[in-house]
Structure 1
Amino acid sequence: MKEDTILPAPRPSAADGAQEPLLVVEKLVKHFPVKGGFPIRRTVGQVQAVDGLDLTVHVGESFGLVGESGCGKSTTGRLISRLMDPTSGTISYRGKDISHATRRELAPIRSEIQMIFQDPYSSLNPRQTVGKIISNPMEINGIDPAGGREKRVRELLEIVGLNPEHYNRFPHEFSGGQRQRIGVARALALEPKLIVADEPVSALDVSIQAQVVNLLQKVQKELGIAFLFIAHDLAVVRHFSQRVAVMYLGKIIEVGDRDSIYNRPRHPYTHALLSAVPEVGLEDGTGHRERIRLAGDVPSPISPPSGCRFRTRCWKAQEKCATDEPPLIQISGNRADHLTACHFPEDPTIEARDEDIVLDPALAALEETPEP
């Protein structure tokens, strides 16, 4: 029996008539030094938070990034928004390398890449009014919209489903969901082309999650903004994202379109993640997918395993997995845009049903609820 044919990962090309990608990240690395020793402190190790990451986000696309806590998702978002400097690798935005751009070089594009932070409580200045929080980016960038900044802020509040009269209120007067809407309004103030949403709904109640996700979808459709949507809730990611990347211990191990990843996952880790999602019919015993329970803990990013980083918890691991790191490539049986980093991928004929991956009942009930 012939082995699977390994094909090189496709690269988008403007010559093919396709639109140039908005964001291209190649071999991105971020290591944090670990200090030790006394009385002279020196570097004794490196936390490999992000280690050789590649991803592409197209204009107007919603791209989901999922994985366990501590896998490097939030660090990736902060690197892309240039809140952190990468150790190595390239971040290209609209064809320009911004990996190590200076503050002055970044100034023209700061307004085009905005971020929605995970915690709606600590991400807003408690000493400033809502009007000041949202208008600050415009003031810093010297933007004077027609009718004045106050008028624009009130328009943004209305867009995100808040009362324009909230302009003079302080953050402590709002609920968690309302605070996250303020964060969305602040991100929209500069009319960005790309928004990095770092777990924007993880700190919210389920019913409020649905409202915020619907709001982000509405904003994306009406304004054509691209999203890098970072989350660990697989149901929310499927509801929002068009393409999905699965991250493990600083590396992307599988990436593809939403349906391909959820219905035909090839990497064992992706299978394990999806097996943890609630199944339809579980209560009456008709659920058919077996829950995969991974053995052991996630290895330390200070000293990750050799070869495949998932091999210490993988039921398919063999000797080759310990010596050779699997490249992120297209494997036969996959679509051209479905890439997997695994020497022994899962059988592509085992296909999950669409209805197996379901939203939380409260989220599902509100997913089509129109914004107020």
Structure 2
Amino acid sequence: MSNELTLEKAGAKTPAGETLLELSGLQKHFPVMDGFLFKRQVGAVHAVDGVDLTVSAQEAVGLVGESGCGKSTLGRLVTRLYEPTAGTIKYQGKDISHANRKELAPIRSEIQMIFQDPYSSLNPRQTVGAIIGAPMEINGINPPQGVQRRVQELLETVGLNPEHYNRFPHEFSGGQRQRIGVARALSLNPKLIVADEPVSALDVSIQAQVVNLLQELQKDLGIAFLFIAHDLAVVRHFSQRVAVMYLGKIVEIADRKSLYESPRHPYTHALLSAVPEADPDDHREQIRLNGDVPSPINPPSGCRFRTRCWKAQDKCVTEEPPLVQLSGNAEGHLTACHFPEEGAAAVPAPRDAK
């Protein structure tokens, strides 16, 4: 990694532990319209429905859950690609929930996004140099060494050849394209990066390379990450804290060790039981959930997981469980369940776990 780039980044670090991002009661409802000529709203998709979450400076927070639970929508709300329906988004103490384009201008450079698909997120008509350099030109940033030199440094930082400056995206593999996306996100010296399933479209052999690259950047450059994924093994490797999302709500959040070794929410237990284990002597039973995820247009009353939960009782129908710290949990381990599991380890820790 370029020493010059590292020093430049280090100077812009926010002190570790300081709250960088704070979400409170965040909601995003997409209207469902009916009618041919005179359209009227007949419902709404509750994609994100009351999320409370914080991300500290230089921290990596993982967000996991089934497809369709609202993870990607939450990421786009954080980057203000979507306008929230309700709730607040605070960045370094400033409410940006409904900030206009002019008010967001100085913050845009500090919150960047890595998209899921490395094929569709890059303009095929532009060279790599133009793709990575565009954010700097749009924001009027002129590095002392020039834009081209800065782009070449970024290419070297993400493990690509600086001489590839004039190549087009179709000349690269999937893993290399995602590295170009990472370089583009780094071009504005961000303090927070939202990584939306950054390795799900890549071959397994390439996933580890990209995740290790992001982990090195997070540690060396002091960048905070909101790491969205459905692969719990990848999230365990990358994140210090993990939030579990189900049908628009966070049902459990804890530090990595506490969540993976002592999960309390039944849904977390079910997710972790499905993680493949390399140990041939491991014969744990996989928890199979009955039915499908309910429609976000008409989510269940009370606890949203109750329609698939083996512990559901009458209370779960009428009362929504609050996200609170249960007795016996580690500090900061929050669970939203009326009848939580005992907290026994759902999966054995990997041998190389740190």
- The normalised TM-score by structure 2 is 0.94
The alignment status of 1:69 with 2:62, answered yes or no, reads: no
- Alignment-derived partner of residue 7 in structure 1: none
Measure the CA separation in 2 of the matches of 1:218 and 1:46.
41
Residue 221 (structure 1) shift = 1.1
**8 Å contact from structure 2 (residues 273, 346) kept in 1:** no
Residue 279 (structure 1) shift = 2.2
- 1:169-318 equivalence runs, <5 A: 169-282=167-280, 286-318=281-313
Query: Of the candidates 117, 130, 150, which is equivalent to residue 128 of structure 2?
Result: 130
- Alignment-derived partner of residue 9 in structure 2: none
The alignment status of 1:109 with 2:103, answered yes or no, reads: no
**For the structure 1 residues 316 and 353, does the alpha-carbon distance in structure 2 shift closer, same or farther, using more than 3 Å as the test?**
closer
- Alignment-derived partner of residue 328 in structure 1: 323
Q: CA offsets per residue over residues 126-159 of structure 1, 9 Å max, x none?
A: 0100000000000011101111000000000000
Measure the CA separation in 2 of the matches of 1:210 and 1:158.
18
- Alignment-derived partner of residue 351 in structure 1: 345
Measure the CA separation in 1 of the matches of 2:135 and 2:173.
23
- Alignment-derived partner of residue 4 in structure 1: none
Measure the CA separation in 1 of the matches of 2:86 and 2:286.
38
Residue 354 (structure 1) shift = 4.0
How big is the alpha-carbon RMSD for the aligned residues of Structure 1 and Structure 2? 1.6
- Alignment-derived partner of residue 14 in structure 1: none
- Alignment-derived partner of residue 143 in structure 1: 141
The alignment status of 1:339 with 2:331, answered yes or no, reads: no
Whichever residue aligns with residue 139 of structure 2, its letter is N
Residue 18 (structure 1) shift = 9.0
Whichever residue aligns with residue 291 of structure 2, its letter is G
> Which consecutive residues of structure 1, in runs of 5 or more, have no partner in the other structure?
1-16, 359-363
SS of the aligned residue for 1:131 comes to helix
Measure the CA separation in 1 of the matches of 2:347 and 2:175.
32
Measure the CA separation in 2 of the matches of 1:51 and 1:196.
19
SS of the aligned residue for 1:255 comes to strand
Runs of 4+ in 1 over 4 A off after TM superposition: none
Measure the CA separation in 1 of the matches of 2:293 and 2:311.
17
**8 Å contact from structure 2 (residues 16, 57) kept in 1:** no
Q: CA offsets per residue over residues 317-360 of structure 1, 9 Å max, x none?
A: 00000000000000001012000000000012x234543x58xx
Measure the CA separation in 1 of the matches of 2:322 and 2:156.
47
Measure the CA separation in 2 of the matches of 1:146 and 1:323.
62
Measure the CA separation in 2 of the matches of 1:39 and 1:168.
49
Identity %: 76
- The normalised TM-score by structure 1 is 0.89
- 1:42-57 equivalence runs, <5 A: 42-57=40-55
Residue 289 (structure 1) shift = 2.0
**8 Å contact from structure 2 (residues 128, 165) kept in 1:** yes
Measure the CA separation in 2 of the matches of 1:155 and 1:336.
41
Whichever residue aligns with residue 345 of structure 2, its letter is E
Whichever residue aligns with residue 139 of structure 1, its letter is E
